[in-house]
Amino acid sequence: RPVVGVLALQGDVREHLVALARAGADPVPVRREAELAAVHAVVLPGGESTTMSRLLRTFELLEPLRERIASGLPTYGSCAGMILLAREVLDTRADAVGVGGLDVTVRRNAFGRQVDSFETDLDVVGVVGPPVRAVFIRAPWVERVGDGVQVLARVPPGHGAADGRVVAVRQGSVLATSFHPEVTGDGRVHELFLRMVRESADGDMG
Ligand code: GLN
């Protein structure tokens, strides 16, 4: 079982630990550099991205996390985690810094201009079976997608200004969703991430 860390500074850490264990990983909370060094992959949970950004600096995890992601650590960010991974963030605080890994521009609290939270069914590339019930909570959406970035899901029609917005992306071994699959009990997005982790481990370790 791959050892998958969940960044445990703030946010819905417990939900990701549970979802990862169900999907077949050995999940561990990560708060220190030594813990980060011991994982095969990492999850950046939902929560509040500017708070997480500040805590990453306080816990001296910002640079180590940046470096590991840049050197190919499989990483999954949901909601605030997507914001932390994004190269560019609109509508955030000037001092909020991210960890990189994803060549996208996201707009923070994008859906919140209309409704703070909503749910819809999404078709997600790489997830087989019925659509994924997606829960959005003051979520970002993706406004620009770089060349190496694959769009995995868009908001379906019927949601006003949100229609067609990109809400799930993948770039190499980095996965990000605007929504929170960790809160619905549907393990298929975490299973998709674990397949990415195994693919990447095959390449690294033969
Ligand atoms: N609005 C939050 C932020 O800006 C993200 C919300 C979430 O993770 N559910 O970080």
**Looking at 15, 16, 40, 79, which residue is catalytic?**
79
Nearest atom of ligand 1 to the alpha carbon of 12: 8
Q: What is the pLDDT of residues 54-88, one digit of tens each?
A: 999 999 999 999 999 999 999 999 999 999 999 99
Residue 90's φ and ψ, nearest 5 degrees, are -95, 150
Atom of ligand 1 nearest to the CA of 79: 8
Instruction: Calculate what percentage of the chain has a pLDDT beyond 90.
Output: 89
What pLDDT band is residue 111 in, cutting at 50, 70 and 90?
A: confident
Query: Residue 147: its pLDDT value, please?
Result: 96
Ligand 1 pocket residue status of 16, Cβ below 6 Å: no
Q: Stretch 14-21: mean pLDDT, rounded? A: 98
User: What homologous superfamily is domain 3-205 in, according to CATH?
Assistant: Class I glutamine amidotransferase (GATase) domain (3.40.50.880)
Whether residue 48 has its Cβ less than 6 Å from ligand 1: yes
79 is catalytic: yes
**Confidence check: pLDDT of 205 > 80:** no
With 0-12 / 13-18 / 19 or more C-beta atoms within 10 angstroms meaning exposed / middle / buried, residue 121 is: exposed
Per-domain boundaries in the chain: 3-205
Q: Does the structure show a pLDDT above 80 at 114?
A: no
pLDDT score of 202: 75
Nearest to 99 by CA among 57, 46, 38, 142: 57
Tens digits of residue pLDDT in 132-157? 999 999 999 999 999 999 999 999 99
Between the CA of 106 and the centroid of ligand 1 the distance, in Å, is 12
Q: What's the CA-to-centroid distance between 204 and ligand 1, angstroms?
A: 33
Which residue in 15, 182, 190, 191 is the catalytic one? 182
Q: Is there a binding annotation on residue 47?
A: yes
Per-residue pLDDT for 206 more than 60?
A: no
Mean pLDDT, rounded, of the chain? 95
| Residue 143 in tokens | 């406004």
Q: Name the pLDDT band for 16 (thresholds 50, 70, 90).
A: very high
Question: Which has the higher per-residue pLDDT, 139 or 113?
Answer: 139
* Predicted interface score ipTM higher than 0.90: yes
Q: In the predicted model, is pLDDT for residue 173 greater than 90?
A: yes
115 vs 62, higher pLDDT: 62
Average pLDDT over residues 114-131: 90
Q: 49 vs 37, 55, 84, 102, 195, CA distance in Å? A: 22, 10, 6, 15, 26
**Is residue 54 within 6 Å of ligand 1 at its C-beta?**
no
